[in-house]
Structure 1
Amino acid sequence: MLALLPKKGDLHDLLNWRPISLLSTDYKIVVKAISLRLGRLAGLVLQEPELRLVLSVYANDVLLVVQDPGDLPSDPVQLVVAGREFPKPTISVSPSRVVALGGSVTIRCEGLYPGMEFFLHKAGHPKLHVPLVVPNGTVAEFPNPSVSREHGGSYTCEYRSITDQSRWSYLSNPVEIIVADPSYPKPNISLRPSGGVSLGKWVTIRCWGQHQGMRFVLNKEGRHFPPVDSDGFGAVFSFSIVCQEDGGSYSCSYHSRSEPFAVSYPSDPMELVLRELPPPGPSISISPSGVNAPGRVITIRCQCWCEARRLLLYKGGIRIQEVDADGDGGEFTIPNARQADSGVYSCRSRSRAEPPNWSDPSDYMRIVVAELSYPKPSISLSSSRGVTLGVTMTVWCWDLYQNPPPLSPDSTLSPH
């Protein structure tokens, strides 16, 4: 890039302008080396009076003037340097980038501004530039009603202003058109493990056909998989399930390694089903807590955000009751507690749909029901009056079967 700085004198004379380079140092070193080599041949090419080349740069325009020092300057010749200033367009293929031989396909190129002329390019065919003027809209469509093998390939598009053809957009991202070749039968596809797959697990998809030495492609909307060369008649794709979008419909196809845009018809679709993440375990509470007398009503509540799920109650790891969750949980009732109801309880939830989606188990809670054959013990204090801090107290606790020794204050928490 050059800029001109005024010197002194008549500024209508281009010799009174000083050119200054705004290019990088590396570029100037290369240009200097080239100019030194060309200077040796200048005397063989140029005739007297010496010709001078003066460059005058205004924005994107370059003005070339060839001048004999003894003559008046010639008429100026304007050399326009095209600039890419519009954002790159969006390119897409409809109805699918995989097209049957003889089928129809449309390439759609969308810009941001009206009044543009669009150009479609195919990789490897530099002379193919399909123009389409769109004076009012922002979208250009390039239809192909009958696709042949030659139409397979990688395409890009760009656009320029109709009124100022020096103003171009950047080139779009490439899009591929793949022609399905009827001479290649569609492959088979299988999935392991079959059934639902949880997040974080690995899956293996195997594709195989009737030809050896082929290159297989795994197809899924919105995801790209690198092609895999066959190990005989088939190929294997293995990957980890990292998000919900990894579930869905998969198919595969294959093509010759020398003709990547002429492929087989896709296999039958195969559905990869993701299992739901297990919800957190419910919270569990028991009322009343502590030791319960026989015959009391005990309520076990399991609480969770588990609407439209089933709640299950476990005792000692064995399922004993099951109810439909209501809103934020559900309750289980022991209407007439017995000593046999003592034990460790927990609960969890599961979906009503099959296959069930299980939650983690809750914490464990213990229910204690007193034994009828053991009457309640008696208790007394060594002093029935109030005591001051630092005074030793004695607590007696006894039953009908034995007369235990008095308990010291430090041993009152030990059962006897």
Structure 2
Amino acid sequence: MSNLSDLKPRFLWENFSKICSIPHPSKHEAKILAYLLDWAKQKNITVKQDETGNLIFSKPATKGMENRKGVILQGHIDMVPQKNSDKVHDFTKDPIETVIGNDGWVRANGTTLGADNGIGCAAAMAVLESTDIEHGPIEVLVTVDEETGMTGAFGLKPNMFKGEILMNLDSEDEGELYVGCAGGLDATLEVDYKEVAVPGGMKAFKIAVTGLKGGHSGMDIILGRGNANKIIIRLLKKLIRDYGIRIASIDGGSLRNAIPREAFATVVVPQEKKDAFKACVKAFASVMQNEFSGTEPNLTIEIVDTDMPSVIMGSECQETIINVVYALPNGVMRMSDSMEGLVETSTNLAIVKSEKGKVTIMCLLRSSVDSAKEAVGEKMTAVAELAKAKITLSGAYPGWKPNMESPILKTMQKTYHDLYG
């Protein structure tokens, strides 16, 4: 079986296949929104679009169900656009190349799949176009730009919906129901550095940390996967101390809400130390492969010759930059006291990028406890102040507190067990 449209249930996979065929990264949802509007017209489904771009579909109750409480199905149509460094793909123009593996899982070829949250939207579409389901009044909310700031959610207005029960379709794992969500906060640090000439007697190399799994910084942070930015900074700190390397550039990660799976640095090394430098990188790679043996079987650290850069970072500046990134928190910071297996507070050191005398560091903080989220922001602010760096905290959004006594939760639990045991 090679086509998604051959999978069952048919409506679900046909809709998801179509979503994958239309580019829809965050902030570039115009094409997919146009398709969904036309789709609703063809299916004779009522739809309206708000000023932000969100779509609200509605379907009347089936006969005899008019007095039931209305249900709102909610998902987002934008996707995280991340790809392997060797993959040629323009997320604003190219369709997602889907692959059905021998194990039955649907994946993408070298890119993110966009099942977050394309599969949720496809499920809602399947309900809208179904003719064999008895139901009360249904509304479907499809928001935009969830992955890069929740612009769509923030653009919603009171009294836009009639339904009393809202079901979030943006979940990940089979057999699990999401009953809450952490709030978030963006932290952006900027560290200036002097650009100086490259001393004589140096050899240039490019260091590449690749092969990491990456993943969603909310869903996958608990899995203990490697962060490419943290790994390359550990290596650079050691190389500066032991071999006197100088850094020309750093480039790690690409998205604030994705665990970085690749990071690169261009460095120069004294000619007389290049062999020892190479041996050190090789040994460090072995240490990291052992350290992450349970989570990152494909972790690779390589060095290749490269052209001599025109400038490098000043020595004091590069030490400040390395120390800032090294000191910033990353990963799970606290587990929930009230729900087993739930991350309460975490942070993802997502992006480190140098350009024209400035290193930009982007982190995404998450917590279901607002005070804990604020405390992590203050910790990052303290690191920035020590380094005399600029820090901006922005994009804060609140959490969704779980209600374990929710009637719809109990109904969902019973229904799931009735269907699947």
For this structure pair, what is the TM-score category when the shorter chain's length is used for normalisation? under 0.3
- Higher helix proportion (structure 1 or 2): 2
Bigger relative contact order (CA 8 A; separation at least 6):
2
TM-score under structure 1 normalisation? 0.19
TM-score by length of 2: 0.18
Larger Rg: 1
Q: Which has the higher strand share?
A: 1
